[in-house]
Amino acid sequence: MTQLIPISRAARLVGVKRGTLQRKIRNGELAAFEGMIELDELLRSFPYARLDDNTMIERMEQIVERASNRARSRPNVLPATETLAARLAAVSRRLAGAETELDRYRTLTRSIENKLLELERSPHADADPALAEFRNWFYHTLESQSPSGIAAERFFVEDALLRMMAAHVRIRPSGHDFFVEGTDTLLDAGLRAGLALPYGCSNGACGQCKARVREGEVRKVRHHDYVFTESEKAQGYTLMCCHTALTDLIVETDEATRAADMPVQTIAARARKLEPLDEDTLLLHVRTPRTQRLRFLAGQRVAVSLDEGVRAVLPIASCPCDDMNLQFHIPRIPGDAFSDYAFHRLRPNDSIQLTGPEGEFVLDEQSPRSPLFIGWGTGFAPIKSLVEHAMSADSAERIDLYWFAPPDGHYLDNLCRSWSDVIDNLHYVPLTIARTGGLAGRRAVADGLERLLERHPDLSDSELYIAGPEPLIEATRQRLTRAGLAGQYLHADITQASPALATD
C-alpha cells in the first residue's frame, strides 16, 4: 500500500531540513511526485528513523515543549477545540480509508496464498519451475516487507498526530507550502513561513488576500467586511487574513516570486524605538499601522522620509515575516543630513513616511546551492533580513554567515551567535578588520578575505550574497572570482558605511 506524504511533513517526520530532502530528490536519491514522497521511499533513504521505537514519543515531547515555549511569546499556539475536532474527523476518515485499503490488500494476499497452496497440491507442481520461482519470490517479499511495515505503521501514527497539531497548506501554482499552527490565520502562517503572499489591509476589508480553496476546509476566525460575489462563493474563495485551516488545504493564489512583483506602497508610520547598537550605529524600529503593513522581499530597501524633508533610502534589516515591525541600521556619517537627524533629533513616536520597496538584492529561492552571506560593517542590515527569511522558509540545507567589521563593530554579535547555537545548519563567523585606510586598509581587507577562504575554501556549491560599501564589494568579488566562483552566483548590494569602516 503506497502512502504519499508532502515533502515538508516528511522532513518533520524524520527530523531533517526540507532542503536535505530536496537535495536528495535533485540528486536522484529520493523519488518524489508533485511535492509528495512515498513513505517507503522515505524509510529507505532514512533507515535510522525506524531503529528507535521511542522516536515518535520523543518527537511529540519536543513538539509539546516547543508549543509551550512559543505560547509564552505568542498566544493561542494550540488549535481551538473545534479545529481539533475537525482535524480529528479528517484523520479518522483518512485512517478508515487506509484500513479499508489495507483490508483489500490482506484479502488479496490470502487469496494468492490459497491459490499457491492449491497449485502446489496439483500433480505437476514439482515439474513447474516457474511456480516454484514465484512461490519463493512471494514469501520472500512478504517477509522482507515486515520490518518496513512496522516502521511505516509507526510513522503513520506519528503523521496523524502531527496533522492534529498543524494543518499543511500547499499553494498553487507556485508549489510552496507551509503549516498552520494554533489559531493563526492562513495569511499570518504563510508570511511567518517566508511566503510572499498577496494582501492589503490584512483585516478583511480590501479583499486583496482572497484565495481559492481547492481542497480541504477552513474556519473563520475574524470578522470581515469584504463581500464575495456569488460566483466567488461558488468557486470556494476565502480571505486568508480572516480564516484558519481546519484540515490540510490546497489553495490557489498568486505569490510575489521576484522583486518586480512587489507593488510600491506609501505608508505613514511612526518611530517606535531608537537604540544605539554601538557608538557608530543606531537601530531605528518603525511600526506600521496594523491595516497597512509593508509588503517586501528580504534584502529590499525602502525610502524613509523624516520631518523637514530629510530622506534616505535604507535597506530593511528585518524579516518580511514580521511586516508591521521594521528595523533599520543607520551608520553615523558626519555631515550626512539623515544620519545627523536620526542620531540627534529623531524621537520615539515621531512620524515617518515609508515608500517602497525597491531593489533586486533578494534570495534566489530556486537555486539548489547553499546560501553564503557576507556583510561588511552595516552592510549586515540587508544580510540580516536575508538570513532571517532563509530561517523562516526553512529550505536551505546549510547557511553560512561571515561578518567583517572593525574591533567592537559586530554590534549584533550575540544575536548571530544565538542563531548558530540553536540552528544546526547555520554557521556564523565574525571576522575583524582593522580601522585603517590606505594601503594598510587594503591589506587588512585582503587578509580578511584570505581568512574567509581558509574557513570556506570550496565555493562550488554556494550562492553568495554580499552587502557593504562598493570598494569592499569589488574587492570581495575579485578575490572570490579568482577562487573559482562564477559571477552568476554572486549577488551584491551597495550600502553606506560609517568612517569606522575604512574603504579607501
Q: Is the pLDDT of residue 84 over 80?
A: no
Greater model confidence, 25 or 77: 25
User: Residue 16 contacts by C-beta under 8 Å, 6 or more apart in sequence?
Assistant: 46
Least confident piece of the model among 55-59, 317-321, 360-364: 55-59
Q: Which helix (H) or strand (E) holds 240?
A: none
Task: Please give the pLDDT value at position 70.
Answer: 41
Task: Please give the pLDDT value at position 151.
Answer: 54
Cβ contacts of 441-446, under 8 Å, gap ≥ 24: 441/502, 441/503, 441/504, 442/475, 444/502, 445/404, 445/472, 445/475, 446/475, 446/479
Q: What mean pLDDT comes out for the span 300-315?
A: 96
Range 370-494: architecture per CATH: 3-Layer(aba) Sandwich (3.40)
Greater model confidence, 136 or 308: 308
Greater model confidence, 70 or 87: 87
Q: What mean pLDDT comes out for the span 182-198?
A: 90
Least confident piece of the model among 32-36, 190-194, 316-320, 344-348: 32-36
> For residue 448, how many other CB atoms are within 10 A of its CB?
21
Q: Is the pLDDT of residue 173 over 70?
A: yes
Longest CA span, the chain:
104
Q: What mean pLDDT comes out for the span 258-267?
A: 92
Task: Please give the pLDDT value at position 56.
Answer: 40
**What topology does CATH give the domain 259-358?**
Elongation Factor Tu (Ef-tu); domain 3 (2.40.30)
Task: Please give the pLDDT value at position 134.
Answer: 82
Domains of the chain by residue range:
1-49, 50-164, 167-252, 259-358, 370-494
Torsion of CA 44, 45, 46, 50, to 10 degrees: -10
Q: pLDDT per residue over 449-485, tens digit each? A: 999 999 999 998 899 999 999 999 999 999 999 998 8
Say how far apart CA 442 and CA 38 lie, in whole Å: 54
Residue 377: closest CA among 280, 475, 481: 280
Greater model confidence, 332 or 40: 332
This prediction's pTM: 0.77
Residue 196, C-alpha cell as written in the block: 510572499
Whole-Å CA distances, 175 to 241, 250, 253? 20, 10, 11
Task: Please give the pLDDT value at position 73.
Answer: 46
**What topology does CATH give the domain 167-252?**
Ubiquitin-like (UB roll) (3.10.20)
